[in-house]
Amino acid sequence: MALPLTSQLINVLAALLLLISFAMLSQRRVLSLINLYAWQGLVLAVNTFTVAYSTGQDHLYFSAALTLLLKVLLLPWILHRLIRKLNVKWDVEPLLNIPVTLLVGIVLVVFAFNLALPIAQLAGTITRSTLGIAMASVLLSFLMMITRRKAVPQVIGFLAMENGLFFAATSTTYGMPMVVELGIALDILVGTLILGIFFFQIREAFDSLDLKHMERLRED
């Protein structure tokens, strides 16, 4: 059975999203990570727009515009400014065992698809096949947060996780109600700004943004 053009496009975009998640997992340079994050936002915005166009859900146009504004323009701009001011723009993070991390990532993707299968079958949306990808990108961002030892990449992992959740919301339900989406966007924006302030405090106290200095509070 041939799929209509829009759902083929949605599937392509979902595949791109998953690829970007894997790229983020293996990317060592902070600057490239931010660019990847912006690309991921763009894929999300285009995807939301396509879904809006093919289903006639008007509020999704608004949601796509919000994504474009916040995740492609504003947040990457803030992050770029931050790393320039913090002077970590060209930082390269030594990552152990990229191949192993990627293999764990593949296992997570399989797991996510299995978990999503029963829910996706209940969904009546044209995007339901992408729920597995949405869950996979949430899990991959989570893996990224675990493996990173520096503050900025950890936060980008956190933001990427929110992207995955947003994708899950569009693929199961055509997006959350508008007021909730606005609230979530506000939280993400304020959170990023607060973390920006926080980076400076951390660097002032520890002289670096390496989280290995921050392992002193523990039970002995």
Partner 1 sequence: MTEILSVLGLPLLGALLLALWGHKRRAAELNALASGATLAAAAALTARVIADGPLLAVQGQFFVDSFNVFLVALTAFVAFTTALFSRPYMRIEQHRGKLGPNRMRLYHSMFQLFIFTMLLALLTNNMGILWVAMEAATLTTVLLVSLYRTPSSLEAAWKYFILCGVGIAQALFGTILLYFAAEKVLGAGGGALLWTQLNAVKAHLEPTVLSLAFVFLLVGYGTKVGLAPLHNWLPDAHAEGPTPVSAVLSGLLLNVALYAVVRSKILVDGALASHLAGNLMMGFGLLSVVVAAFFLSRQKDIKRLFAYSSIEHMGLVTFAFGMGGPVASFAGLLHMTVHSLTKSAIFFAAGHAAQKTGTQIMDDIRGLLRQSPTVGWGLMLGSLAILGMPPFGVFASEFLILTTAMHSHPWATPFLLAALGVAFAAIFGKVQPMVFGETTAQRLPHPPALLPVFAHLALVLLLGLYIPPYLADWYRQAAALIG
Q: Indicate the DSSP class of residue 69.
A: I
| From 7, 9, 142, 150, residue interacting with partner 1 (rule: CB under 8 A) | 142
The residue written with tokens 């939301």 in the block is 48
Q: Indicate the DSSP class of residue 174.
A: S
For 218, phi and psi rounded to 5 degrees? -155, 160
Q: Which two tokens stand for residue 71?
A: 């995740």
For 200, phi and psi rounded to 5 degrees? -65, -40
Contact (Cβ atoms closer than 8 angstroms) between residue 40 and residue 20: yes
Q: Which two tokens stand for residue 78?
A: 């803030």
| From 2, 90, 201, 212, residue interacting with partner 1 (rule: CB under 8 A) | 201
Of 43 and 188, which CB lies nearer to partner 1 in the complex structure? 188
| From 66, 145, 150, 210, residue interacting with partner 1 (rule: CB under 8 A) | 145
Identity of the amino acid at 104: V
Of 10 and 169, which CB lies nearer to partner 1 in the complex structure? 169
What is the closest distance, in whole angstroms, from the C-beta atom of residue 99 to partner 1 in the complex?
Answer: 25
The residue written with tokens 């909730």 in the block is 180
Binding mask 39-58 for partner 1 (x = CB under 8 A): ------------------x-
Of 78 and 184, which CB lies nearer to partner 1 in the complex structure? 184
- Contact residues for partner 1 (CB under 8 A)? 57, 118-119, 122-124, 138, 142, 145, 151, 154, 158, 161-162, 165, 168-169, 172-174, 176-180, 183-184, 186-187, 190-191, 194-195, 197-198, 201-202, 204-206, 211, 213-217, 219-220
